Structure 1
Amino acid sequence: MSLIPKETVDQIIAQADITEVVGDFVSLKKKGQNMWACCPFHHEKSPSFSVSPAKGIYKCFGCGKAGNSVQFIMDIEGTSFPEALKYLAKKYGIEVPEDNPTPEYAKEQSERDSLFIVSDFANKHYQQNLHQHEQGSIGQSYLKQRGLSGNTIRKFELGYSLDEWTDLTDTALKAGYQQKYLEATGLTIVKEEGKKYDRFRGRVMFPIHNISGRVVGFGARTLKSNDKKSPKYLNSPESEIYHKSNVLYGLFQAKQALRMQDMCYMVEGYLDVLSLHQGGIENVVASSGTSLTEGQIKLIARYTQNITVLYDGDAAGIKASLRGIDLILENGLNVDVVTFPEGEDPDSYIQKVGDTAFKAYLKEHSQDFISFKTSLYAAEAKGNPVKKAEAIREIVTSIAKIPDTIKRTVFFRSCSLIFDIDEQVLISEYNKIHLQDRQQQHKTGSPADDFAPAPVPEEPEKQVSDGDLLKRYEREIVRMLLNYPDKLLDDGLTTCQYMLEQLEDVEFRTPLYARLMELIKERLCDGTVPSAEDFINYPDQEIRTEATNLLSDPHELSHNWETHSIFVPTELDLLPYGAERAVLRLKWRNVELLLKTEMEKLRLVTDPQEQDRQLNNILMLKSLHSQLGDMLGIVVNR
């Protein structure tokens, strides 16, 4: 069990606004009473991810993920319930009492959480080295030489690893951290003969945060100019919590600015991010020297659809990285490009010209990627027909990645003017590429449609089993109890009172709904009306998830109906009718199942008197079944 006191848990849940929590990770747009976005848990082009501020829940109607603020952090971070609570407590400035963990609690901590905890310890240790250890002055001198202020150093939590073999390892083991976690995060290297030593020594440390601000790895720069054997930059290896393809340096510090500016500047190195951020350009991230991946693009797409790539003034480097931009186009984002004078990179150039001139340079020299690539290839192919043909094919390949038909048409026209070639020739070439892609997708079983999954043929409608139908009717009862427990019906009873009174002798057969019904009855026995929060925040995850599903509605009535003075009754308006129907349906189904059971028993009975009794039972059940069917308007019984 978590050692966080219940009153602290309740305070965290009460203060954790679902819109704010989800909004840190996803760009939400208001539609009706709810907020909507493309789901962060699966790839989709049309928003099916809903956040209900009133109920304090989220629900994806595509993949089924659902829950409250705590569950969202657990889902997005893959972390435990206690760690998610601590994350939210930190966000809202709530102090969590620190108790000494019991052996049982320590054992309960997941492997993943342990890796986060060890990484956080290392991060604090490196910061302490930078600011308090005598060797830290070496790191501070370098950072000041690079023009970084104390505020920037603290904001990005920069540190220093001592030039000693086992400083971090010894300190961590002495503090009680296990060697296996130091090794799993790559902080400690262990040789076959048992010798162990620190991976990072004598380096400035750049902690790499995930999107929620937890340290998952490190980048480290050596300060030894005479050491030719060690690489200039050294990164943490891949681990359970650190996957380079799904992390962007600086994204945690940039995410609010990305949303506000609706633009992401993409650079290559740590210092590029730090210098631009310090210069007032906070919407900047770095791929940290790795090729841009689809996972990284999807991270950016949560906050903005616009990316501007800032290239160093190195023609060979630009040419080598162009293919990575095609992936951005393929994901439907808008891409601009800015290049710097030869020999300059974003860090050196902003240091050279200053913040104001740098921002002006970005505005003046920004151009869309297709135009940039077309001009680049056109200049190289000038006077050479063979190179020109290759260049056109290369440009068309990039344009083919763009999902939007109108954008493709505009770029074809622009390309035809620059290369002085008929637009129809470009379109024909595009059709060839598109046909090849379709054929390849067909071979691999991938969707054959242009930019959307192939339609799934409809399966013949399957007959609903007795068990599934009963489950559906039980679910409807619980749904209404959770959504409208204290709403008054026509007879003066609340929904809760009416339904529980009518179903007093009905036993729920679906285990999950039977549990929920028991919990509802317990609340009433305690003298309280069950509320949605009781179940959304319930300790058991199965209960939490199902309660959220039952409280989520994929459909909202457009406000235009009210604007045009058209009255459309809601479920609440028809609640007395709906509650009665739900009760009758469940009773009808239970009687029908009981009738089938009795019919089966009759086949096995041989005693005449017992047969008479069994027949009387069946006749009585048939009469009740018929009465319930008449009340429901069922002409032909199932």
Structure 2
Amino acid sequence: MSLIPKEVVDQVLAQADITEVVGDFVSLKKKGQNMWACCPFHHEKSPSFSVSPAKGIYKCFGCGKAGNSVQFIMDVEGTSFPEAIKYLAKKYSIEVPEEQHDPEYAREQSERDSLFIVSDFAAKHFQQRLTSHEQGAIGQSYLKQRGLSSNTIRKFELGYSLDEWTDLTDAALKVGYKQKYLEATGLTIAREDGKKYDRFRGRVMFPIHNVSGRVVGFGARTLKSNDKKSPKYLNSPESDIYHKSNVLYGLFQAKQAMRMQDMCYMVEGYLDVLSLHQGGIENVVASSGTSLTEGQIKLISRYTENITVLYDGDAAGIKASLRGIDLILELGLNVNVVTFPAGEDPDSYIHKVGDTAFKTYIKEHSQDFISFKTSLFAEEAAGNPVKKAEAIKEVVASISKIPDAIKRTVFFQSCSLIFDIDEQVLISEYNKMHLQGRQQQPSGGQAQHYSAPEPALEPEPEKPASDTDVLKRYEREIIRMMINYGAKPVDEQQTVTQYMLEQLEDVEFEIPIYVKLYNLILRQFNQGYVVKGEDLVNDPDEEIRSEVIELISNRYDLSHNWETHQIYVPNEEDLLMYGIERAILRLKRMKVQILLKAELEKLRLVTDPAEQDRQLNYILSLKTFENQLGEMLGIVVNK
């Protein structure tokens, strides 16, 4: 069992606002009663991820992921229940009185959680060394020289690794962390002869956070100018919690500003992020020197569809990164570009001109990527027909990545003006590229030869639903009615739950999950309490939680425009009694039909005439009851 007390878990569940929790990871937009976004768990272009503030749940109608605030953190972080509770407790300033290093607690943690815990320890250790150790003065001097304030250093949890072989490793082992987790995160390197040493020594430490703020890795800059053997920057290796292609430096600190300003500024290095953030441009992230990846772009798209790339004045560097921007276009985001004077990068330029002038500069020099690339290549190809032809193909290749047809048309028009070439020529080149792309095999290389398509097979007729499938559907509807409307009155004396339980006294549920839920509702009712769906969203039984979320989730909301135009459309609650009675009648009729089949099978085996008569009379009475139920449902012909 977790060492987190139940009362703390209950407090977290009570205070965790599903909209706030999910809103830390995706940009939610209100539609009807719910909030909607593109799902963070699978790639989609149209939002199917719904958050219900009233019910405290999320549900993706695309991939099926669903749950409460705790489940969301578990899903998005891939972490355990205790760690998800601790994350939310920290968010809502709830104290968790449990001993972090208790042996029982340590055994309970998953391997992945252990990597997070060790990384967090390392980040705190490096911070302590920066501020409290005599060697930390070296790191502090460098950071102040780079113009970083104490507040920025603290906000980004910057630190310093001592210039000693085993400082971190010794400290971690001393408080009980296992060496295998130190090695798995890359913090400790073990040699074949059994000796071990710290990966980071004598470096300023830049903790790399995931989108929820947990430390997953480190970037480290050496301060030894005379050390030619060691790289200037050293990063953590890939691990189960650190995948460079799915992490952006500064995203945790930038995500709220990205959402509020509907813009993300993309830079290259750690210090670019820190200096711009300190200068009031908080919606800034860095790819940390790696080529931009699809995973990183999708992270940005959770918060905004607009990216402005801030390049330094290095033309070669700009050329090398153009492919990554093509990927941004391909994923449907809008890209602008800002370049700085030769020899300047965002970090140096903001310190040179100041915060206000820097903001003015990027506003005045921002241009869309296609126009930027077109101008760049046109300038290089001026006076050279061969280079001009190659440049046109390069630009058309980028335009072809844009999924929106209207945007493509606008860029073709702009490109034709800059290159002074007929727009139709560009479109023809695009069509040729598009056709070649479709003919390329996924393995890349040879054109695929298509043969005539085979005639379509006749679709197989749908198999009739089995009795079990139909029974499941009808039992599900009964439970859905009770957990959604159980406390609603059906008359002056009875609630929905009371009425339905009385009507179903002689009915036995068969589908396991609905047996479990029916018994739970009945038990709670006998104790004087009417169960609501929201009560079960946090049930410890995962099967119950999952099913209840399915039952209380609504994919569609009636547009408020209907009310605006005074068009009345009855909803389910307006016709509640009608729906309840039909649900009960359907289930009872199905039960009778199943019983009828069983009795007819028995009749085949009966040989005694008197027993046959008794069996036939019973079957006739069941048939009469089935017909009566059918008439009540408006079913004229029995199948």
Name the SS of the counterpart of 1:165 in structure 2. coil
Provide, for residues 321-366 of structure 1, a one-character-per-residue CA deviation record: whole Å limited to 9, x for no partner: 1011000001111100011111111111111111111111101111
Matches within 5 A, 1:622-633: 622-633=623-634
Greater CA deviation, 543-552 or 280-289? 543-552
Give the C-alpha shift of residue 104 in structure 1: 4.6
Structure 1 residues 125 and 478, CA gap change in structure 2 (3 angstroms): same
Name the SS of the counterpart of 2:58 in structure 1. strand
Provide, for residues 233-265 of structure 1, a one-character-per-residue CA deviation record: whole Å limited to 9, x for no partner: 111111111111111000000001101111100
Provide, for residues 343-392 of structure 1, a one-character-per-residue CA deviation record: whole Å limited to 9, x for no partner: 11111111111111111110111110000000010011111111111110
The answer to whether structure 1 residue 125 and structure 2 residue 125 are counterparts is yes
Q: Determine the C-alpha separation between the residues in 2 that align with 1:457 and 1:118.
A: 57
Greater CA deviation, 367-376 or 184-193? 184-193
Structure 1 residues 100 and 308, CA gap change in structure 2 (3 angstroms): closer
Matches within 5 A, 1:574-585: 574-585=575-586
Provide, for residues 434-465 of structure 1, a one-character-per-residue CA deviation record: whole Å limited to 9, x for no partner: 11222236899xxx9xxxxxxx9997544222
Q: Give the equivalent residue in structure 2 for 1:330.
A: 330
Task: Work out whether residues 266 and 287 of structure 1, in 8 Å CA contact, stay in contact via their aligned partners in 2.
Answer: yes
Name the SS of the counterpart of 1:514 in structure 2. helix
Matches within 5 A, 1:496-515: 496-515=497-516
Instruction: Give the TM-score normalised by the residue count of structure 2.
Output: 0.95
Q: Determine the C-alpha separation between the residues in 2 that align with 1:192 and 1:394.
A: 50
Name the SS of the counterpart of 2:440 in structure 1. helix
Q: Give the equivalent residue in structure 2 for 1:492.
A: 493
Q: Give the equivalent residue in structure 1 for 2:154.
A: 154
Give the C-alpha shift of residue 492 in structure 1: 3.5
Q: Determine the C-alpha separation between the residues in 2 that align with 1:533 and 1:106.
A: 33
Q: Give the equivalent residue in structure 2 for 1:451.
A: none
Task: Work out whether residues 562 and 568 of structure 2, in 8 Å CA contact, stay in contact via their aligned partners in 1.
Answer: yes
Provide, for residues 543-577 of structure 1, a one-character-per-residue CA deviation record: whole Å limited to 9, x for no partner: 11211111111111111222222221110010011
Q: Give the equivalent residue in structure 2 for 1:538.
A: 539
Q: Determine the C-alpha separation between the residues in 1 that align with 2:532 and 2:3.
A: 26
Q: Determine the C-alpha separation between the residues in 1 that align with 2:101 and 2:270.
A: 37
Structure 1 residues 40 and 104, CA gap change in structure 2 (3 angstroms): same
The one-letter code matched in structure 2 to 1:484 is Y
The one-letter code matched in structure 2 to 1:163 is D
Matches within 5 A, 1:118-517: 118-440=118-440, 461-490=462-491, 492-517=493-518
Q: Determine the C-alpha separation between the residues in 1 that align with 2:530 and 2:139.
A: 61
Matches within 5 A, 1:18-97: 18-97=18-97
Instruction: Give the TM-score normalised by the residue count of structure 1.
Output: 0.96
Task: Work out whether residues 185 and 237 of structure 1, in 8 Å CA contact, stay in contact via their aligned partners in 2.
Answer: yes
The one-letter code matched in structure 2 to 1:508 is F
Q: Determine the C-alpha separation between the residues in 2 that align with 1:460 and 1:206.
A: 61
Name the SS of the counterpart of 2:224 in structure 1. coil
Name the SS of the counterpart of 2:409 in structure 1. helix
Give the C-alpha shift of residue 132 in structure 1: 0.6
Give the C-alpha shift of residue 514 in structure 1: 1.2
The one-letter code matched in structure 1 to 2:516 is R
Task: Work out whether residues 101 and 176 of structure 2, in 8 Å CA contact, stay in contact via their aligned partners in 1.
Answer: no
Q: Give the equivalent residue in structure 2 for 1:549.
A: 550
Provide, for residues 266-324 of structure 1, a one-character-per-residue CA deviation record: whole Å limited to 9, x for no partner: 00000000000011110000000111011111111111111000111111111011011
Name the SS of the counterpart of 1:427 in structure 2. helix
Provide, for residues 28-62 of structure 1, a one-character-per-residue CA deviation record: whole Å limited to 9, x for no partner: 11111111111111111111111111111111111
Task: Work out whether residues 503 and 583 of structure 1, in 8 Å CA contact, stay in contact via their aligned partners in 2.
Answer: yes
Name the SS of the counterpart of 2:574 in structure 1. coil
Task: Work out whether residues 255 and 283 of structure 2, in 8 Å CA contact, stay in contact via their aligned partners in 1.
Answer: yes
The one-letter code matched in structure 1 to 2:515 is A
Give the C-alpha shift of residue 166 in structure 1: 1.1
Q: Determine the C-alpha separation between the residues in 2 that align with 1:172 and 1:510.
A: 51
Q: Give the equivalent residue in structure 1 for 2:520.
A: 519
Q: Give the equivalent residue in structure 1 for 2:110.
A: 110
Q: Determine the C-alpha separation between the residues in 1 that align with 2:406 and 2:11.
A: 51
Q: Give the equivalent residue in structure 2 for 1:453.
A: none
Provide, for residues 530-553 of structure 1, a one-character-per-residue CA deviation record: whole Å limited to 9, x for no partner: 122321011122211211111111
Q: Determine the C-alpha separation between the residues in 2 that align with 1:512 and 1:28.
A: 32
The one-letter code matched in structure 1 to 2:355 is D
Provide, for residues 166-216 of structure 1, a one-character-per-residue CA deviation record: whole Å limited to 9, x for no partner: 111111111011111111111111122222111111111100000010001
The answer to whether structure 1 residue 612 and structure 2 residue 607 are counterparts is no
The one-letter code matched in structure 1 to 2:24 is D
The one-letter code matched in structure 1 to 2:500 is M
Q: Determine the C-alpha separation between the residues in 2 that align with 1:462 and 1:157.
A: 61
Name the SS of the counterpart of 1:98 in structure 2. coil
Give the C-alpha shift of residue 519 in structure 1: 1.5
Name the SS of the counterpart of 1:499 in structure 2. helix
Structure 1 residues 597 and 192, CA gap change in structure 2 (3 angstroms): farther
Name the SS of the counterpart of 2:148 in structure 1. coil
Q: Determine the C-alpha separation between the residues in 1 that align with 2:304 and 2:457.
A: 34
The one-letter code matched in structure 2 to 1:463 is P
Task: Work out whether residues 3 and 101 of structure 1, in 8 Å CA contact, stay in contact via their aligned partners in 2.
Answer: no
Q: Determine the C-alpha separation between the residues in 2 that align with 1:289 and 1:527.
A: 63
Q: Percent identity?
A: 81
Q: Determine the C-alpha separation between the residues in 2 that align with 1:384 and 1:470.
A: 76
Q: Give the equivalent residue in structure 1 for 2:451.
A: none
Q: Determine the C-alpha separation between the residues in 2 that align with 1:103 and 1:148.
A: 40
Q: Determine the C-alpha separation between the residues in 2 that align with 1:609 and 1:153.
A: 94
Structure 1 residues 350 and 321, CA gap change in structure 2 (3 angstroms): same
Give the C-alpha shift of residue 106 in structure 1: 3.0
Task: Report how many residues are paired.
Answer: 628
Name the SS of the counterpart of 1:418 in structure 2. helix
Contiguous gaps of at least 5 residues in structure 2? 449-455
Structure 1 residues 460 and 408, CA gap change in structure 2 (3 angstroms): farther
Name the SS of the counterpart of 1:138 in structure 2. helix
Greater CA deviation, 373-382 or 96-105? 96-105
Q: Determine the C-alpha separation between the residues in 2 that align with 1:254 and 1:102.
A: 35
The one-letter code matched in structure 2 to 1:41 is F
The one-letter code matched in structure 1 to 2:240 is E
Name the SS of the counterpart of 2:631 in structure 1. helix
Give the C-alpha shift of residue 421 in structure 1: 0.5
Give the C-alpha shift of residue 610 in structure 1: 3.7
Structure 1 residues 101 and 188, CA gap change in structure 2 (3 angstroms): closer
Q: Considering only aligned residues, what root-mean-square deviation do their CA atoms show, in Å?
A: 1.8
Provide, for residues 101-155 of structure 1, a one-character-per-residue CA deviation record: whole Å limited to 9, x for no partner: 6655433221111111111111111111111111111111111111111000000
Q: Determine the C-alpha separation between the residues in 1 that align with 2:174 and 2:103.
A: 18
Give the C-alpha shift of residue 635 in structure 1: 2.3
Structure 1 residues 602 and 191, CA gap change in structure 2 (3 angstroms): farther
Name the SS of the counterpart of 1:7 in structure 2. helix
Name the SS of the counterpart of 2:291 in structure 1. coil
Task: Work out whether residues 26 and 302 of structure 2, in 8 Å CA contact, stay in contact via their aligned partners in 1.
Answer: yes
Task: Work out whether residues 490 and 576 of structure 1, in 8 Å CA contact, stay in contact via their aligned partners in 2.
Answer: no
Task: Work out whether residues 266 and 307 of structure 2, in 8 Å CA contact, stay in contact via their aligned partners in 1.
Answer: yes
